[in-house]
Amino acid sequence: MTTKEQLVEQHIREYESRSKHIDELIVRANEATKDLGDDHHIKTELNEYLEQKAKMVEDTEKFKRMSLDHWREDSIRSAGPMAIWDVLAQKIEELIERTEKKN
């Protein structure tokens, strides 16, 4: 049986894994967009994603510091927060694909 502490640790690892994936995508997006010159639309879009990522990192840090008394098992098990990371990754991947086609 999985304890609350184990579930929390598992979710933190999953958040960190998704954060690392986002970091890798951001590196790729920066590479893909560096040759576009003054394409403000693309750079603005990427900056929005960077802001979203920073907010999610902040939320993850709060998540890590939260006491176990504040956890509800059903919210820990839900995929809701994880889906947010996946949506951001998908948006950045789409940005990379669009910019790589322009290069």
Query: Over the stretch 4-17, which tens digit does the pLDDT of each residue have?
Result: 677 778 878 888 89
Higher pLDDT, 55 or 62: 55
- Compute the distance between CA of residue 72 and CA of residue 28 in angstroms, rounded to an integer: 37
The domain total for the chain is: 1
Is the per-residue pLDDT at 73 higher than 60? no
* pTM as predicted: 0.65
3-state secondary structure of 89: helix
| Structural domain boundaries enclosing 57 | 4-102
